[in-house]
Amino acid sequence: MKITGYKTYMVPPRWLFLKIETDEGIAGWGEPVIEGKAASVETAVHEFMDQLLGDDPSAIEGCWSKMYRSSFYRGGPILMSAIAGIDQALWDIKGKTMGQPVFQLLGGAVRNKIKVYSWVGGDRPHDVGAAALERKNSGFKAIKMNATEEMQIIDSYEKIDEVVHRIEAVRDACGPYFGIAVDFHGRIHKPMAKVLAKAIARFNLLFIEEPVLSENNKALSAITQLVETPIATGERMFSRWDFKNILESNNVDIIQPDLSHAGGITECKKIANMAEAYDVAVAFHCPLGPIALAACLQLDAVVQNAFIQEQSLGIHYNDGNDLMDYIKNPEIFEYEDGYVKIPQLPGLGVIVDEELVIEKSKIPHNWHNPVWRHEDGSIAEW
């Protein structure tokens, strides 16, 4: 079997899909994208795929190594996201060729379903108590919410109190054992992150996510000394070498590599296995589309230390198109009692509605995250 061609499709709300074709008529799908930089990743995909034309798609490790190691400059969000989507598509081809779901080719499942959580509150968190109760009543056992809007490196305690009140509203609405994850989103710098983490610790949170930017990971030690709340990070880390240092630091409880950003299934399995050796949990990052989620679920099936899966159904970014729209078998993402089953069809398990993908890609999206400013006019972290 040889790779004979490929196509990329930029589709709303903010996704990029890749189809890899072979001389035996078996095609695979991947989702290579960095939110807000889809066009940049698309260019990188084209550069990598031109190198792979004529290669054997079943030699996934070899293809991965060729993409990563044949360039003098490597790593980072754009290149690793391009590799990630290509890797997903190669696994999809291999699974379809073998007539097996990808998880069977990775050693077989340790679980048949995994817990999922739902987003509430949007970028500027509001009405989270009512939204969380709605999610609970629809069967979810956990939600995630952004903590704050803009926050200066040193800021008002009024903003701290606002966060406390929002989390309190969720806890009051949903009860003492409902899972609440709070995403600091890298918006908060170390001085205020310490204050906020301590202020919300009493709510017995599922985890605090990205309390500081990943480039400031050394600052996590100042937070872990203050609270017992599990600390999560990793969506802006892109390879096993990025994760090596944070695992060795003993300052993280949960890592969150993204299968569309951190080198795909091949690399993220290695990252997850590294984390297991440090007794660190895994919660794969995935506020993206159906191909990315399917890839995550295939890996969730074989990763012992995976415990919960992010998914984007109804997320505030999905304006106009949502998670189920581009696939013909949306039933694979049906959530029951807070869990989703591992897809069982060959490959990644999703049947892409190619006609709709082609139609929607005729007007490519141009999604970019908002540019926020503090009251003094300086740029705020989004």
Positions marked catalytic: 185, 285
- Provide the β-strand partners of residue 60: none
Which residue do the tokens 């890797």 mark? 87
**From the CB of residue 109, how many other CB atoms can be counted at a distance below 10 Å?**
16
Q: What are the tokens at 37? A: 């930089």
Q: Measured on CA atoms in the order 131, 133, 137, 140, is the torsion positive or negative?
A: positive
Which residue do the tokens 């990252």 mark? 271
Which residue do the tokens 């992150």 mark? 193
Single out the residue of 253, 248, 316 nearest to residue 283, CA to CA: 253
Which residue do the tokens 């999604």 mark? 367
**From the CB of residue 120, how many other CB atoms can be counted at a distance below 10 Å?**
27
Which residue type occupies 54? G
Exposed/middle/buried for residue 350 (C-beta within 10 Å: 0-12, 13-18, 19+): buried
The reply to whether omega before 13 is within 30° of 0 (cis) is yes
Give the integer Cα–Cα distance in Å for 245 and 186. 18
Q: For residue 283, give the DSSP letter.
A: -
- Contact between 32 and 259 under an 8 Å Cβ cutoff? The reply is no
DSSP letters spanning 198-251: HHHGGG--SEEE-SS-GGGGGGHHHHHTT--S-EEE-TT--SHHHHHHHHHHT-
Q: How far apart are the first and last CA of the chain?
A: 45
Give the integer Cα–Cα distance in Å for 342 and 345. 10
Give the integer Cα–Cα distance in Å for 251 and 332. 36
